Structure 1
Amino acid sequence: MATTKWAIDPTHSEIGFKVKHMMFTNVSGKFNDYEATIISDENNFENAKIEYSADIKSIDTGNTDRDNHLRSADFFDIENSPKMTFKSSSFTKVNDGNYDLTGKLNIRGVEKEVKFPVEFSGIMTDPWGNTKIGLNITGKINRKDWGLNWNSAIEAGGVLVSDDVRLNIELQFAKQ
Structure 2
Amino acid sequence: MPNPSDTTRSTGPDAVAAGRWILDRAGTTVALRHKTIWGLVTVKGAFNDVSGEGEVSADGSARGSVTLGAASLDTGNAKRDAHLRAPDFFDTDRFPSLEFTADSVIPGADGRADVTGLLTVVGKARPLAFSARTTESTPTAVTLSAEIDVDRADYGLTWNKGGMIKGPATVALTVRFVHQPG
Which residue in 2 is equivalent to 1:133?
Answer: 142
Percent identity at matched positions? Answer: 28
Q: Which moved more, 1:160-169 or 1:57-66?
A: 160-169
SS at match of 1:86: strand
Instruction: Please show how residues 137-176 of structure 1 align to structure 2 within 5 Å.
Output: 137-153=146-162, 159-176=163-180
Instruction: Please show how residues 16-165 of structure 1 align to structure 2 within 5 Å.
Output: 16-22=31-37, 23-42=39-58, 44-46=59-61, 48-124=62-138, 131-153=140-162, 159-165=163-169
Instruction: Describe the superposition over 1:7-40 as per-residue Cα deviations: whole angstroms up to 9, x where unpaired.
Output: 1111121011110011122111111012111210
TM-score after normalising by structure 2:
0.83
Q: Unpaired runs of 5+ in structure 2? A: 1-16
CA distance in 1, matches of 2:148, 2:96: 23
- Pairwise CA distance, 1:111: 0.6
- Pairwise CA distance, 1:124: 3.7
- Pairwise CA distance, 1:122: 3.3
Q: Unpaired runs of 5+ in structure 1? A: 126-130, 154-158
RMSD: 1.7
Which amino acid is 1:82 matched to? P
Which amino acid is 2:76 matched to? G
SS at match of 2:82: helix
TM-score after normalising by structure 1:
0.86
CA distance in 1, matches of 2:138, 2:56: 16
Which residue in 2 is equivalent to 1:128?
Answer: none
SS at match of 1:45: coil
CA distance in 1, matches of 2:142, 2:108: 18
- Pairwise CA distance, 1:69: 0.2
Which amino acid is 1:101 matched to? V
Instruction: Describe the superposition over 1:58-100 as per-residue Cα deviations: whole angstroms up to 9, x where unpaired.
Output: 1111111101000000000112111111111222334421111
CA distance in 2, matches of 1:163, 1:146: 14
CA distance in 1, matches of 2:138, 2:105: 20
